[in-house]
């Protein structure tokens, strides 16, 4: 059964995007070779990518471009080749190759995908999707890269979650230039 993983950059104060949805702060330190190798190795893992419409529009404005192929060739190749799903109430079709649009009940669509054979699924960005699928108990792993940045305000992935999520640390890694990778799994009630 495919697993569902969230992979997101967050700030020290817990935001994954600015109030306006900007995520440039997460990519300012492009000189961090150790972290860039980690990202490239992580991208080789495969799977299906899941996005909300806003994140899809950000991703499709960069990854299929010559600039992405020049700056991040390994990651760009994987991003463009992997199957992608965009959840949207407003999009009818997607122009990025290997992308399908899913309208309707997001949780039910993911339950179906988890029952079908296939690769694991990864949510990038897409805070609204993370919140909805967290509430439905469908996320198997939360991979967070804490960046040494404080925004003071912004968007959290967990807006609207009515009860606390109990998580346990599965693994972690500290990078020399200040980023910290944290991987959490939902704690199974005893």
pLDDT in tens, 17-50: 999 888 888 877 767 788 878 877 776 666 899 9
pLDDT bucket at 72, cuts 50 / 70 / 90? confident
pTM recorded for the entire structure? 0.90
**Distances from the Cα of 97 to the Cα of 55, 78, 83, 104, angstroms:** 16, 12, 8, 22
pLDDT at 58 over 60: yes
> Which domains are seen in the chain, by residue range?
4-186 (3.40.430.10)
Q: Is the pLDDT of residue 14 over 70?
A: yes
CB neighbours of residue 21 within 10 Å: 15
* CA dist., res. 160 & res. 153, Å (int): 16
Give the burial class of 35: count Cβ atoms within 10 A of its Cβ; 0-12 exposed, 13-18 middle, 19 or more buried. Answer: buried
- Cα separation of 97 and 94, whole Å? 8
- Residue range 133-159: mean pLDDT, rounded: 94
- Under DSSP, is residue 31 helix (H, G, I), strand (E, B) or coil? coil
pLDDT at 134: 95
Q: CA 66, 83, 179, 175 torsion: positive or negative? A: negative
Please report which confidence band the pLDDT of residue 116 belongs to, taking 50, 70 and 90 as the band edges: very high
Q: Which of 181, 180, 165, 130 is CA-nearest to residue 17?
A: 130
pLDDT digits (tens, 9 = 90+) for 98-111: 999 999 999 999 99
Tell me: pLDDT of 183 over 80: yes
Flag whether pLDDT at 147 surpasses 70. Answer: yes
pLDDT of amino acid 169: 97
Average pLDDT estimate for 131-156:
95
What local confidence, expressed as pLDDT, does residue 43 receive?
61
What number is the average pLDDT over the span 121-138?
A: 92
Residue-averaged pLDDT of the chain: 90
CA distances from 11 to 31, 112, 113, 163 (A): 18, 33, 30, 22
**How is residue 127 annotated by DSSP?**
H
Flag whether pLDDT at 190 surpasses 60. no
Question: How many percent of the chain have pLDDT more than 70?
Answer: 95
For residue 145, the cross-strand partners are 9, 181
């Amino acid at each position: 059964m495919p697993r569902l993983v969230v992979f997101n950059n967050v700030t020290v104060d817990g935001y994954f995007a600015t109030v306006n949805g900007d995520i440039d702060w997460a990519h300012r330190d492009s000189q961090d070779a150790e972290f860039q190798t980690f990202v490239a190795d992580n991208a080789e893992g495969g799977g299906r990518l899941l996005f909300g419409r806003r994140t899809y529009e950000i991703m499709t404005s960069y990854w299929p471009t010559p600039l992405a192929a020049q700056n991040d060739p390994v990651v760009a190749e994987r991003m463009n080749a992997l199957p992608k799903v965009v959840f949207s109430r407003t999009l009818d079709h997607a122009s990025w190759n290997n992308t399908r649009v899913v309208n309707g009940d997001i949780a039910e669509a993911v339950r179906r995908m988890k029952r079908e054979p296939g690769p694991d699924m990864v949510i990038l960005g897409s805070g609204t999707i993370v919140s909805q699928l967290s509430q439905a108990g469908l996320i198997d792993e939360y991979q967070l890269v804490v960046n040494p940045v404080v925004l003071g305000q912004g968007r959290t992935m967990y807006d609207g979650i009515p009860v606390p999520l109990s998580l346990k640390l599965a693994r972690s890694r500290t990078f020399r230039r200040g980023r910290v990778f944290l991987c959490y799994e939902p704690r199974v009630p005893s």
